[in-house]
Amino acid sequence: MKFFNYSTVLLAFLCSVAVSAQEPVQVTVTEDTDAPVISKHIYGHFSEHLGRCIYGGLYVGEESMVPNTAGVRNDIIEALKELKIPNLRWPGGCFADTYHWKDGVGPKDERPTMVNRWWGGVTEDNSFGTHDFLNLCETLNAEPYLAANVGSSTVKEFTEYVEYVLHQGGSPMAEWRKENGREEPWDVKYWGVGNEMWGCGGNMTAEHYADVYRQYATFMTDWTNSDGLFRIASGANVDDYHWTEVLMRDVPKHLIEGVALHSYSFVEWNEKGSSIDYSEEQYFSTMKTALKMDTLVTKHSAIMDKYDPNNTIALVVDEWGGWYDVMEGTNPGFLYQQNTMRDAMIAGTSLNIFNNHARRVKMANLAQTVNVLQAVVLTEDEKMLLTPTYHVLKMYNVHQDAKLLPVNFDSPTYNFEGEELPAISISASKTDAGEVNVSMVNIDAHKSHTVEINLGDMDVKDFSGTILSSEDLQDHNTFDQPEKITPKELKKVKYRKGVLEVVLPPFSVLVVTGK
């Protein structure tokens, strides 16, 4: 005989009635001829010499039993191709300002070792260097973004790096490159002039770094930047608006193409908590920091608008993502963490923010690609899995280089212990082929929301959708269950008289495409 707890049943019934009684979220999507294109480079990635991101992650060596191409895992190459990653930032991060590029070229057995003092104090053999990285980018059809050493380097070392990579021939560095097996130069457009100069890059003031930046940027190319370099200044830490103000005020516009911004999502910086065993309170706190990205981008953009009203300098969010305590039993300096539906929420909302700020945000880089922080890929010996974050970025790649469609709506709130956050996040775009794509996130841990999207007179009819959801907020893929969380086809897409209706379950990500 079954016994029912009638109070529980009644509560469930009343909750279901309340949910069904909620008014649908009304969303208007419009076309604006002045709207920007969402740069594909917003969907960039970041691979630092940190933990098992490079060694034991991307790079296993040519002698490995794991199938590889020039030492790089074939399964990761295929996964990143499927993701359509547009650019990849390397070698750091903090590591960049202790890395001397000449140690990573030439015969591998003659390269000196180095101690990675920032991340675990491990000794690296420099077997993965510039040739390996740039050749990998060619394989991936991704543009390389070289974060070059300013903190412990010299202008001469920096400019020789540019010459080694870019010069056709007839110069000492170009001839050395040829001796090392690369006849033609690589096409490297994006260059980071140092990293986190306010911290691990040298603990500089904004005023001092502005002068240092001017010096380095001057010698990277000629009077008119005929090399077409995209020079990215080390930018602000989160809400350090003074840093952005100084760079925009003190650096001549002909010396700079981008200003960086770093901001991570976490519970509390000194008490980050577990990446898998977290409470709703910790989830809510993490999403609060994630959603602050909109305020950060808005305020830094406003400063840039003051000095650059013609929008010639890009805001580059080249480090973003979730940051928690490392998995139990792993090296604290390796920053290895799992990836749950919480991370899918961070990814979906952050990308919607970047899309909607596409006028100023021209590049962003998720930290990091493999085995570190909010990784899209995790590996364990020969095994590999794709994380919920991977699936969100793949679902969203329909926005790459599509024209932004402005959206207007009032979000319902996600309430927790007297605080509230907007539950719904949306961005939309239209491709050159006329496809309309709408990406939506519901961060609410409990409530579903019906969303009605008015597309007006846009000539789209055939709709399909993909949804990422799971039963528990803490769900994640493991090497025993690598496909526990995977995108599913959206079975119910209602469209009538220009209005699209979908249901967003709790903590879910949904992308709808109309043709």
Q: What angle do CA 299, 304, 307 make, to 5 degrees?
A: 135
Burial string for 135-147 (b: 16+ CB within 10 Å, else e) reads bbbeebebbbbbb
List CB contacts of 336: < 8 A, sequence separation 6 or more: 51, 52, 326, 327, 330, 371, 372
d(CA 187, CA 131): 12
Q: Within the chain, what is the greatest distance between any pair of CA atoms?
A: 89
First to last CA, the chain: 54
**DSSP-H helix ranges across 22-154:** 74-83, 130-140
d(CA 235, CA 242): 10
Looking at 124, 143, 196, 257, which residue is catalytic? Answer: 196
d(CA 165, CA 478): 39
Looking at 245, 319, 382, 483, which residue is catalytic? Answer: 319
d(CA 48, CA 53): 7
What's the Cα-to-Cα distance from 259 to each of 35, 279, 307, 364, 414, rounded to whole Å?
22, 36, 13, 11, 33
Give the helix/strand (H/E) hosting 396: helix 388-396
Residue type, 177: R
Active site residue 82: no
d(CA 359, CA 2): 60
The string of DSSP codes covering 299-338 is HHHHHHHHH-TT--SEEEEEEEEE--PPPTTS-GGG----
Task: Report which of 252, 360, 244, 355 is spatially closest to residue 312, judged by C-alpha positions.
Answer: 360
Q: Tell me the chain's radius of gyration from C-alpha atoms.
A: 24
Residue type, 194: G
Work out the number of other CB atoms within 10 angstroms of the CB of residue 24.
15
Active site residue 196: yes
- Which residues are catalytic, by number? 196, 319
